[in-house]
Amino acid sequence: MLKRVTKPTKPWHGVQKNRAAVLIALVLILMVLVFLLKNEVKHDASFTLPQLKWNSFRSSVQFQPSLEFMNATDVIWQIPKSAKAVLFLAHGCNGRAANFWDRSPSCPNCVGLPEERLIVLHALERKFAVLTISSTGKCWTFGKEKKNVKGIIKWWIAKHKLEKLPLTALGASSGGHFVSALATEMRFSSIALMIAEGVFDAMDIPRDYPPTLFVHMPKDHSRMRRIGDNMKALKEKGISVAEVKCLEFPLTPNLLSDRIPGLDQTISIKLFNLFIEKGFIDEKGYMKNDGRGTRWKKAVKEGELSYDKLEWINHIQEELNLAFGYHEMTSLQSEQILNWFESHMS
């Protein structure tokens, strides 16, 4: 008869030690995970990643724009070596071509707003020839101006012998509406409409309309709904569409000096502290209102910072608007936008 062999049982105190060891290990693992997650959130919130700083491209690409006054408007451009595509950029209302380029001997009247300039630098680094044109009025119009811009783009491409390169376009706000209309008359390989739903309800959408990327801020609920309707209409025509959602983010003491050329860290910290003191931002650093609706300029004028000497008013305004995440030009999604363009070049 086979005898049943039983393994000797471990003493009770040994079981307790093992359980305690497992429990301690689990606690340590949990603490490490919490630490990593905490650091990750803090890292994302602080926006200290190198690629988000104004001088991130200093060593790899520099501004060397050319400019010309043509058909009663400014035309500013730069063509990198071995360019692989052309990118036309259309500003929003009250904007101009000079906003996309840093002031330099070749462009003494250029402004270099923080988001516009970074979009250009991202594009140049990816070997896009960049062309910017100013609207003739406050915002873009869709009659004579559309024909005028079409003529400038074609002239410029022929002059620089870029006809074989894919042609792309990015427009923000009024510029986005303009690009959406221009795309019915020009052969773009793809386009991106930023904080703009386009003017699709006012035109017949051809079936060869270019692939369209909507880059928008969901906090603008009504615009997001209209974008959703237009995406559906384009899809029904068999046109490739996608969207990128841009969310609000908190201010930090160094954010403005990280984003704005020439604004030093001391001023950035003083402004951040002023915004806290005046209640413009909440306890987590988020803007309570859009920068346009915040009386921060008045607070600066009345405070220790000299309003007259603060030369970055428009630059600061743009970053405050962007942080609120409702309606502003943004370079934070440049990689996704350029990936979209590159994916439709074949």
Complete DSSP assignment for 244-291: EE-------TTHHHHHSTT--HHHHHHHHHHHHHTT-B-TTS-BSS-G
The tokens of 103 are what?
Answer: 């002031």
Q: Decide which of 2 and 225 is more confident.
A: 225
Q: Can you give the pLDDT at residue 49?
A: 41
Q: Can you give the pLDDT at residue 8?
A: 46
What integer is the mean pLDDT of 42-71? Answer: 69
Mean pLDDT of all residues in the chain? 88
> Beta-strand (E) ranges in the chain?
66-70, 73-78, 85-90, 128-133, 167-172, 190-194, 212-216, 241-245
Domain with CATH 3.40.50.1820 in the chain: 52-247+328-342
Q: Can you give the pLDDT at residue 128?
A: 98
What integer is the mean pLDDT of 7-17? Answer: 48
Q: Give the strands of the sheet with 128-133, arranged side by side.
A: 66-70, 73-78, 128-133, 85-90, 167-172, 190-194, 212-216, 241-245
Q: pLDDT confidence of 19, banded at 50, 70, 90? A: low
Q: Can you give the pLDDT at residue 23?
A: 59
Q: Can you give the pLDDT at residue 96?
A: 98
Q: Which amino acid is at 82?
A: S
Q: Can you give the pLDDT at residue 52?
A: 66
Q: Can you give the pLDDT at residue 64?
A: 94
Q: Can you give the pLDDT at residue 146?
A: 97
Q: Can you give the pLDDT at residue 346?
A: 76
pLDDT at 32 over 60: no
pLDDT at 5 over 60: no
25 Cβ contact partners less than 8 Å away, ≥ 6 residues apart: none
Q: pLDDT confidence of 303, banded at 50, 70, 90? A: confident
What integer is the mean pLDDT of 146-171? Answer: 98
Query: CATH homologous superfamily for 52-247+328-342?
Result: Alpha/Beta hydrolase fold, catalytic domain (3.40.50.1820)
73 forms bridges with which residues in the sheet? 70
Q: pLDDT confidence of 30, banded at 50, 70, 90? A: low
Choose the weakest-confidence range: 163-177, 191-205, 241-255, 299-313.
299-313
Nearest CA to 79 out of 132, 152, 151, 149 is that of 132
**Cα–Cα distance between 145 and 291 in angstroms, integer?**
31
H-type alpha helices, 102-254:
114-125, 144-159, 174-182, 221-236
Q: pLDDT confidence of 25, banded at 50, 70, 90? A: low
What integer is the mean pLDDT of 245-270? Answer: 94
Which string of b and e fits 47-68 if b means at least 16 CB within 10 Å?
beeeeebbebbeeebebebebe
Q: Decide which of 34 and 96 is more confident.
A: 96
Choose the weakest-confidence range: 102-106, 145-149, 168-172, 208-212.
102-106
Q: Can you give the pLDDT at residue 48?
A: 42
Nearest CA to 86 out of 135, 155, 173 is that of 155
CA distances from 37 to 1, 44, 226, 259 (A): 61, 11, 36, 26
Q: Can you give the pLDDT at residue 36?
A: 37
Q: Can you give the pLDDT at residue 40?
A: 34
Q: pLDDT confidence of 234, banded at 50, 70, 90? A: very high
Q: Can you give the pLDDT at residue 85?
A: 98
